[in-house]
Structure formats: C-alpha cells, structure tokens
Amino acid sequence: MLFQEKMTHYLKAGIPFFFLIDFTKERQLALTYEEAAQQDIYFDIKGTTNTTSQLRTGALPEHLSLQTKPIPPETYRRAFDRVKRELGLGNSFLLNLTFATEITPSVDLNTIFQVAKAPYKLRYKDEFVVFSPECYLQIKDGHVYSYPMKGTINGALPHAEQQLMESPKERYEHNTIVDLIRNDLSLMAKEVTVTKFRYLESIKNTQGTILQTSSEIRGKLPNHWQDQFAERLLHSLPAGSISGAPKAKTVEIINQVESRPRGFYTGIFGISDGTTMDSAVNIRYIEKQQGNHYFRSGGGLTHLSQWEDEYKELNEKIQVPTL
C-alpha cells in the first residue's frame, strides 16, 4: 500500500501510527507502533513511545561527550559565498545551509537516544538518532498548529536575549519563515493566523544554553480533514524553517551547494491517532555511516549574514541536550 493510502487508512480508522518522511520526500514510512518496533525504529514524543524493555541497556552514563572534527572554515566559506551570490541575484531570500561534522561520541546511538532530553526523539535502527526541539505540525481540537524555530544565539553571551530579539538579521529570518509557514498551512486549513509571535525558548545542554525564537501559527481544519491530509502534508514539505524561501528554488540551490544529500535529516517524523497529531522536524541529528558518526547542523542565511557568525552557530549546535 502506498504511503498516502496507508496514512489515510490509519487516520480514518483511528489507528495510532508513526510516520517518517525524508527531506526530498523520496522515502516515506507509515507504520503502526508495533510495526515500527519490529523494524528497529523507536520514538518518544512527549512521553508517547513504542520503546520496550529490551531497548534499555542497563545503567545510563552520567556524562556524554562528543569529540568533534569541525569542517574547515574555508570549506564553509566557499558554500556560504555561493549562497550569498544566489541571494544577491534574488533567487532566494533565505536559505538554510547545513553540513555534516564528524564526531566521536562516548556512547552508541541507542544510548544517545535514551540519554538525550528533547520533546521529540527518534532512533532509526543503527543509522541515526534525532533529539529535536522543533514541532512541525500539531493537530488538536480541530486545529492545526506549527511552531517554526528561527533565530539562534549562545545564551552565555552578554545580553543574549536582547541581542537575539533586536538583531535585524534574525528578525528578517524569522519573519520570512513565519510568512512561508502561514502559506503552507493555508493549503490544509482555513482562518490561518499567527497566535504567538517571536517568543523565546531555551535549550540546555552540557555546554550551556542556546536561545531560540519561535512563533505559533494556527489554522482551522475542515470537517473530515483526514481524507486529504496525507496529500496536503506531502505538499507542504520540506519544512520551511530548514529549507528557505521561495521554497522550490531554494531547495534546488541547497542540492547544488551542500556537500552531501540530506536523507532523513531535516525531514519530519510524528505520530497520530486520527484525531490528534504531533510531529517534529528532524534536526539535532546524529548519523552513522560506514562506522563513522556525523552531527548534522546549520542555520539560515540572508543577505545580512556574516560567514564567521554562521560558521560559529553551526558548530555551537553540535551538542546533545542532557539537562
């Protein structure tokens, strides 16, 4: 059965299920909780989980460390300059540039999945783990919500909150994505409105705190929204916060500039029971390839971006929240 058919069946029948979609929408999974576990796919979304006792491997470590091998600054600078040229030509207004940084974690992916503190966690076999703070879509009480995160700063910096909230670059970036998400939600809902605009959230890890800005956008779902939701969900992807605007041309540039395909990184995963839904953007992402581990991270670039700041942000995000 095709992904859209399976998702629609589960939604209309009220069968709890898990779904996972990659960045390019080439790989799409819709599985019952039990089917996901049978395929060695485990999730924990705000306490709703399909994890089993077999997944837990004894006492968890008190400390978790990541030794990093940062990408050379000149490698980032070359990609950054190519993006800035595209921005200057008007081919994009905002582009999320990402890289994979080689790391050596002190524990395996299964342990990282258990130790990490995040509202949205996923372990996909022995291939990758996600500990995401960012909601993509949430459905409750007949409404659909989105909470794009855009704008980041190291919380240890002097006057960090003020710097973030007053930064012209961060304000422009956030406004652009909020407008994009409003348009995406209008494909599946009516009366789309921004109910909370640009509020602060903090993410703690072993190295300190990262501050980010988010907004809440809400739309009213039609009756029997389950009938067409799978199609409209796919049409809304990839998520605006990790691609950019205008979306189609920006994704084309991303595929040309980034050093490797994103795969499931910056796709989405979630759960639903046909009445409610919760889903996340696949960020804060560690993958395993040919025995090596890589942490995927990045940030949004605009015409106001400075490469040194963006390179620093990319590296500061390479942390596992454990507090």
The residue ranges of every structural domain in the chain are 3-316
Is the pLDDT assigned to residue 70 strictly greater than 90?
Answer: yes
Q: What is the pTM of this model?
A: 0.93
Q: Tell me the β-bridge partners of 293.
A: 103, 288
In the predicted model, what is the mean pLDDT of the chain?
A: 93
Q: Indicate the angle between helix axes 247-257 and 73-88, nearest 10 degrees.
A: 150
DSSP code of residue 54: G
Query: Of residues 44 and 56, which shows the higher confidence score?
Result: 44
pLDDT for the residue numbered 57: 64
pLDDT for the residue numbered 308: 97
Contact 305, 44 (CB under 8 A): no
Q: Which fold has domain 3-316?
A: Anthranilate synthase (3.60.120)
Minimum mean pLDDT range among 44-48, 152-156, 247-251, 283-287: 152-156
**Nearest Cα to 109, choosing from 71, 39, 57, 53?**
57
Query: Of residues 27 and 64, which shows the higher confidence score?
Result: 27
Minimum mean pLDDT range among 114-123, 169-178, 256-265, 278-287: 169-178
Confidence band for 64, pLDDT divided at 50, 70 and 90: confident
Is the pLDDT assigned to residue 285 strictly greater than 80?
Answer: yes
Q: Tell me the β-bridge partners of 96.
A: 300
Mean pLDDT of 203-218: 82
DSSP per residue, 219-249:
EEPPTTGGGTHHHHHHHHPSPGGGSEESHHH
Mean pLDDT of 307-314: 95
**Nearest Cα to 317, choosing from 174, 173, 215, 207?**
207
CA–CA distance, 176 with 95 (Å, rounded to integer): 11
